[in-house]
Structure 1
């Protein structure tokens, strides 16, 4: 159970229903619901006075999270209009059927009734498969960006901010961003003080003037601590680079997306990292290429393409300058090493590549 029930309170100004996918992410759900809990009552008493929440399911059995902990439902799928928001919490992409067709149809009814739907973590995938995000941009985690592009190649996707508010649809990158969305929703419906109270009690202090600001915060960079201290525009530029390895984005376009000039972006990179953005971008792609070569599963030619180089000769020249060895020799050495250590080879299968400085 998620708290003490106070049904049909005349003071409730925020009603939230949760749909949990099979193997849902427990941390995203708990962060969101704990902010609601603390905003709903005085002190830490957890009564559902100012807002309410329920876990909804088409079946009476508990829903299993990705970490193995199961949560019981509070109510069946009744009239979706009794909620202001319905949060779909996703989880493992490998789950065969994250939600059943009964739940899909219920979400479609909710959308038709004008209820705001929130895709949390891979819950965005669920909303897209249900046809509820057509012609709408979505926000997904940088970690699942390629999975999303593979599943929905023609969909507009962003991975350089924590969440995206598109009116009656909100999509969220997941993880800690669940707290940001919860605060955004609480601030909108209960006021800023209610959101700040929840944040302070959870020791997640926010000193931003409004939820609109932390919505636009970039997702944390996957690189070293130096970048985490860099100007936010440098962080966002790097995220764009990371998400466009095989088809590099011109520096001019990256700068334009940040509403600054190329010269400004170059100065920011020089100040933060001591390098030009184009040089940094190339080093990212070379690190990505090296990691692909180390798997032993991708040919040098395909690695060059995946890393965004126009031809093998161009790729080989830059790779050797960076690492003092040709990519073909590096690739052969990696295959030899993997064959000598089968356990290492198995661990490389399907591994995600994280570039490093």
Structure 2
């Protein structure tokens, strides 16, 4: 069972310690902490009764967010056993990958104390740096999916849903999703009524579940069905090694037949035909915006060889790849 702080006169039902990476993103931090604030008391007085939180650092020097707004820690690092969760907030990726070794050390201390750790935005990368995500499922924004997949082969990246609860490791895509995750945590410790009270004041009807799909990356593919939206994310995240329809159906936990029926209803194409369109459009973009060899582009878009790519490309665009580059 999570231990409570001996410093508290009244033991809260939920206690959270926040740590910030350099150039952290403000929205996930403020969304999570404001949800806690609104669940902390009966009204809107910000009294830390039902749940309590603090912001820690190695000292009280201000930490700059990605937007330049600075926030000062309230105190130096406290013993992690005093919290139910340690929340690490990431932001600009390069800063998270290389900055604030003291945060990494503290996350390792929390791990040794068996305190659950939550990563918001690229906070998951800080958890990876701390060696806490080996063979773990790790939620990441679709925007940083390739960064994670290419650099960390011992982590299982998940970018088709909002957040992932992997026991004592919880990771979140970031942005406004942090409020949904906070609602999930509040409901676990305080009950559904407190989570609903908090999120409704934040103008949210109800928390989105963990497996709700992330908003799609900027593209022309707008669909209404959630399963098809998640399938599209999987297609876009697996261009160089195309997934079979069976694999996609298994990941979405629906039947292959149902997936095909939904996909045709939403797009007018079979899944694999649509998949090929996405891969070829990506190939066209690479031809027009990079100097990569056509052989490399064929591999990047999941074709067995250059000849196969060229035939499919010409059938789709009525031009050879070399002509599009010219």
User: Residue by residue, what CA displacement relative to the aligned partner does 1:247-306 show, whole Å, maximum 9, x if unpaired?
Assistant: 001112112222333222211111111110001111111111111112133222211111
Please report how far the alpha carbon of residue 154 of structure 1 lies from its aligned counterpart in structure 2 after TM superposition.
2.9
Aligned to 1:179: 179
Instruction: Show structure 1 runs of 4+ deviating over 6 A.
Output: none
Pick one of 288, 296, 299 that aligns with 1:305: 299
Q: Is the 8 A contact 1:87 1:118 kept in 2?
A: yes
Pick one of 246, 253, 260 that aligns with 1:266: 260
Q: Is the 8 A contact 2:143 2:217 kept in 1?
A: no
Aligned to 1:236: 230
Cα distance in 2 for partners of 1:204, 1:292 equals: 40
Cα distance in 1 for partners of 2:25, 2:197 equals: 25
Cα distance in 2 for partners of 1:225, 1:307 equals: 18
SS of residue in 2 equivalent to 1:241: helix
1:1-357 to 2 correspondences below 5 Å: 8-10=8-10, 12-95=12-95, 99-206=99-206, 214-222=209-217, 227-229=222-224, 231-332=225-326
Gapped regions of structure 1 (runs ≥ 5): 1-6, 333-357
For the aligned residue pairs, the C-alpha RMSD in angstroms reads 1.8
Moved more, 293-302 or 27-36: 293-302
Q: Is the 8 A contact 1:9 1:49 kept in 2?
A: no
Cα distance in 2 for partners of 1:102, 1:224 equals: 39
Q: Is the 8 A contact 2:134 2:154 kept in 1?
A: no
Cα distance in 1 for partners of 2:18, 2:98 equals: 14
Cα distance in 2 for partners of 1:171, 1:327 equals: 41
Cα distance in 1 for partners of 2:153, 2:99 equals: 22
Gapped regions of structure 2 (runs ≥ 5): 1-6
Question: How many corresponding residue pairs?
Answer: 320
Cα distance in 1 for partners of 2:43, 2:214 equals: 31
Cα distance in 2 for partners of 1:257, 1:145 equals: 17
Calculate the TM-score normalised by the size of structure 2. Answer: 0.93
Please report how far the alpha carbon of residue 224 of structure 1 lies from its aligned counterpart in structure 2 after TM superposition.
5.4
Calculate the TM-score normalised by the size of structure 1. Answer: 0.85
Cα distance in 1 for partners of 2:96, 2:128 equals: 16
